[in-house]
Structure formats: C-alpha cells, structure tokens
Amino acid sequence: MSNAASAYARTSQTTASPREIEAQALLKAARQLQEVQANWTGPDKNMHDALLFNRRLWSIFMGAVGSNESEQTLEIRQNITNIGIFVLKQTVEMQTNPDPAKLKSLIDINCNLAAGLSGRA
C-alpha cells in the first residue's frame, strides 16, 4: 500500500467524516510541499517524496470519482478529474524542471479543497 493510501487509511480510523479525512490528507500533502518550498536547496529526496505523496493522493481521488460507485454528480466528478489532471501535469513539470515557485499552485489547490471539505471555505 502506498504512503498516501496508508496515511488515508490511518486517518480514516480516527475521524468519522470522510470529508474531514480527505481534508486532512490534502493538508498533509500541502504541508509536505510547503516544507520543500520553504527549505529549497534544489531537487532532493524530500521534494520527490512530497510530490509522490501528493500524486498518489490525487490518484486515489481520481480513481474514486472514476468508479461506478461514486456518489458525486457528474459535474463534480469531472471537476475533480480535471483538477487531478492539472496536479499530475504540474508534478511532472516540477520533476523535469524543478522550481520551488511551481509548488505554489499544488499547495493552493490542496489547501483550498481542504478548506471546502472542512466547511471553512
């Protein structure tokens, strides 16, 4: 099981609301990316680990909305998929042309979605 899936599973055992679980996972990914950005010394293991965690998390979200069992409306499913595609493209861009400024969009997306899921938006 991936680190993202493991963290997601551990979090799900301590919190009742699936929306809050998703928000916590997004915030964890955002914190890891912020840590890389704040302590930038060039591409390193921390950058790759943070990008991997975020990519796996988004892959889980995209897989969930792509499933026939998804309870979300088609519009929400399409929006999540579109954001997920953007996140994956930004991740590849960051890996091929590392620049800490490129992390901002990934951090902002995760924080904004987490706030919405938690009812803080």
Taking only the tens of pLDDT, the chain with its 121 residues reads 566 666 555 555 554 588 899 999 999 999 999 999 999 999 999 999 999 999 999 999 999 998 888 888 999 999 999 999 999 999 999 999 999 999 999 999 999 999 998 887 5
Domains in the chain, CATH or no CATH each? 3-117 (1.20.120)
Sign of CA dihedral 84, 86, 87, 93: positive
What is the model's pLDDT at position 40? 97
Structure tokens at 54: 């975020």
What is the model's pLDDT at position 32? 98
What is the model's pLDDT at position 11? 52
Residues in the chain: 121
Cβ atoms < 10 Å from Cβ of 92: 12
The candidate with the shortest Cα–Cα distance to 74, out of 85, 82, 52, 31, is: 82
Please, is 18 exposed, middle or buried when counting C-beta atoms within 10 Å of its C-beta (0-12, 13-18, 19+)?
A: exposed
58: left (phi over 0), alpha (psi -120 to 50) or beta: alpha
What is the model's pLDDT at position 113? 95
